[in-house]
């Protein structure tokens, strides 16, 4: 079941809300549900943070922003209890200084991925932009906690990646990062029926990313490889909606597979939805959002359609009304008049 939590965004007028120390303890408790470590901060007396924790079957997604803090998992903690979890983090603001056993040290920046595990001690300092010693406010990230048993790569193969700075700029790393950021943005809207399926996708993408980093893609189960290809296809479609030439043959060529194979894969892993239907649906959803955006009110309806890869005005109007029960013009008028009243 998905859970969305926000902690201590602002103080409460009149002093009736939780104290800064209580907010810190609550935040530390939420983080510690899967990341069993000693979390400390120099800002306990003025602590404010945001936490979005979503359970996706056996996987936990954690989005959080907080003042500078330190997370330590000691040898003693490992001996006392090892949940055998991997902790993957995508840093979105600030920086990290990460120390592992054997005097291994790594500096992590915005956009980097890192992975540590509960079976080894670690020491992570998170800080705002600038010198780590300044302890400035502004660290933020999206993380995933998942059981080690779910990944197809054995722990001894994964050891070389632990605690390292890993780029999300290309390949499966970029796909994984985009997927996690999208999940974090949608956390409040996720339905219980979606969460387990999304957890499976997260595991597949993490597995494919790790296998790619270790040049061990063949270790992935066939179903996991197929689901990763389908997620890559979805991301490709979302990035190219503006192109009216976006068709299944173009998508297949970009992924170096045949059109027939693409159709079989996509339909199998999309509850029967065809790729063409997915492209059409994504275009209409984007148009629906853009028409309701006050920042785009000066753009003509035909211009909005063109931004979504639908150049034909009559085709767009028919498809939009069939999907939403309103013409594009009616939807825009209702949406923008409602925004003006607010």
Average pLDDT over residues 151-176: 82
Pair (17, 153) in one structural domain: yes
Percent of the chain residues past pLDDT 70, beyond the cut? 89
How are beta strands 69-73 and 122-127 bridged, if at all? antiparallel
| Structural domain includes residue 231 | no
Average pLDDT over residues 97-121: 84
Out of 170, 188, 211, a domain closes at: 170
Residue that has been written with the tokens 């753009």 in this structure:
299
| Structural domain includes residue 68 | yes
Average pLDDT over residues 164-169: 79
The pLDDT of residue 9: 47
The per-residue pLDDT for range 21-43, each reduced to its tens digit, is: 888 988 888 888 888 899 999 88
Using 50, 70 and 90 to split pLDDT, how confident is the model at 275?
very high
| Structural domain includes residue 181 | no
The pLDDT of residue 103: 65
Using 50, 70 and 90 to split pLDDT, how confident is the model at 181?
very high
Cβ neighbours around 159 below 10 Å, total: 12
Sequence length of the chain is 342
The pLDDT of residue 225: 85
The pLDDT of residue 34: 82
Using 50, 70 and 90 to split pLDDT, how confident is the model at 153?
confident
Pair (152, 282) in one structural domain: no
The answer on pLDDT for 170 being more than 50 is yes
Query: For residue 307, which phi and psi values (nearest 5 degrees)?
Result: -60, -25
Residues 6 or more apart in contact with residue 334 via CB below 8 angstroms: 326
The pLDDT of residue 278: 95
HEC profile for the chain?
CCCCCCCCCCCCHHHCCCCHHHHHHHHHHHHCCCCCCEEECCCHHHCCCEEEEEEECCEEEEEEEECCEEEEECHHHHHHCCCCEEEEEEEEECEEEEEEHHHEEEEECCCEEEEEECCCCEEEEEECCCCHHHCCCCEEEEEEEEEHHHCCCCHHHHHHHCCCCEECCCHHHHHHHHHHHHHHHCHHHCCHHHHHHHHHHHHHHHHHHHHHHCCCHHHCCHHHHHHHHHHHHHHHHHHCCCCCCCCHHHHHHHCCCCHHHHHHHHHHCCCCCCHHHHHHHHHHHHHHHHHCCHHHCCCCHHHHHHHCCCCCHHHHHHHHHHHHCCCHHHHHHHHHHHHHHC
In the sheet that 139-147 helps form, which strands lie side by side, from edge to edge?
50-56, 59-66, 139-147, 85-93, 112-117, 166-167
The pLDDT of residue 339: 55
The answer on pLDDT for 132 being more than 60 is no
The answer on pLDDT for 131 being more than 60 is no
| Structural domain includes residue 234 | no
The pLDDT of residue 327: 94
Residues 6 or more apart in contact with residue 164 via CB below 8 angstroms: 106, 114
Average pLDDT over residues 270-278: 93
Query: Which range has the worst mean pLDDT, 14-23, 44-53, 64-73?
Result: 14-23
The per-residue pLDDT for range 199-255, each reduced to its tens digit, is: 999 999 998 888 888 877 666 788 888 888 998 899 899 999 999 999 999 999 999
Using 50, 70 and 90 to split pLDDT, how confident is the model at 306?
very high
Q: What is the CATH number of the domain that holds 91?
A: 2.60.120.10
CA–CA gap between residue 250 and residue 233 (Å, rounded): 11
Average pLDDT over residues 269-291: 93
Out of 170, 196, 216, a domain closes at: 170
Q: Are 34 and 85 in contact (CB under 8 A)?
A: yes
Query: What does the mean pLDDT of the chain come to?
Result: 85
Average pLDDT over residues 165-182: 85
The pLDDT of residue 90: 93
Out of 128, 155, 170, a domain closes at: 170
Looking at the structure of the chain, the number of domains it has is 2
Pair (288, 157) in one structural domain: no
Pair (162, 24) in one structural domain: yes
Q: Are 124 and 71 in contact (CB under 8 A)?
A: yes
Q: Which domain holds residue 297?
A: 277-341
| Structural domain includes residue 314 | yes
Average pLDDT over residues 185-193: 82
Average pLDDT over residues 287-294: 93
Average pLDDT over residues 149-157: 83
| Structural domain includes residue 213 | no
| Structural domain includes residue 93 | yes
The pLDDT of residue 320: 94
Please count the CA atoms within 13 angstroms of the CA of 242 that sit on its side-chain side.
5
| Structural domain includes residue 210 | no
Residue 118 tokens read as 């509960």
pTM: 0.74
Residue 2 tokens read as 């998905």
Residue 172 tokens read as 């499966």
The pLDDT of residue 341: 53
């Amino acid at each position: 079941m998905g859970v969305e939590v926000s902690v201590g965004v602002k103080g409460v007028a009149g002093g009736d809300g939780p104290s800064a120390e209580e907010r810190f303890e609550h935040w530390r408790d939420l983080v510690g549900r899967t990341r069993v470590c000693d979390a400390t901060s120099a800002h306990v007396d003025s602590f404010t943070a945001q936490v979005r924790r979503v359970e996706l079957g056996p996987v936990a997604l954690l989005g959080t922003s907080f003042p500078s803090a330190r997370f330590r998992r000691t040898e003693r903690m490992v001996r006392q209890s090892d949940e055998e979890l991997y902790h993957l983090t995508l840093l979105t603001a600030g920086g990290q200084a990460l120390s592992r056993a054997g005097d291994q040290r790594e500096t992590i920046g915005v956009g980097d991925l890192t992975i540590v595990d509960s079976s080894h001690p670690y020491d992570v300092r998170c800080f705002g932009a600038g010198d780590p010693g300044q302890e400035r406010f502004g660290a933020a990230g999206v993380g995933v906690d998942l059981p080690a048993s779910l990944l197809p790569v054995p722990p001894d193969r994964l050891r070389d990646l632990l605690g390292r700075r890993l780029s999300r700029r290309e390949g499966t790393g970029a796909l994984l990062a985009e997927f996690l950021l999208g999940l974090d943005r949608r956390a409040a809207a996720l339905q219980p029926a979606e969460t387990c399926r999304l957890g499976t996708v997260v595991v597949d993408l993490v597995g494919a990313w790790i296998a790619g980093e270790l040049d061990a893609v063949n270790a992935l189960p066939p179903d996991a490889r197929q689901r990763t290809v389908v997620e890559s296809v979805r991301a490709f479609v979302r990035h190219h909606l503006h192109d009216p030439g976006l068709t299944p043959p173009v998508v297949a060529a970009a992924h170096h597979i045949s059109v027939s194979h693409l159709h079989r894969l996509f339909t199998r892993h999309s509850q029967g939805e065809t790729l063409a239907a997915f492209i059409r649906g994504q275009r209409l959803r984007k148009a629906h959002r853009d028409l309701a955006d006050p920042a785009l009110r000066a753009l003509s309806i035909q211009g909005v359609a063109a931004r979504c890869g639908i150049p034909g005005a009559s085709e767009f109007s028919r498809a939009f009304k069939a999907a939403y029960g309103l013409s594009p013009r009616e939807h825009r008028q209702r949406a923008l008049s409602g925004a003006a009243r607010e």
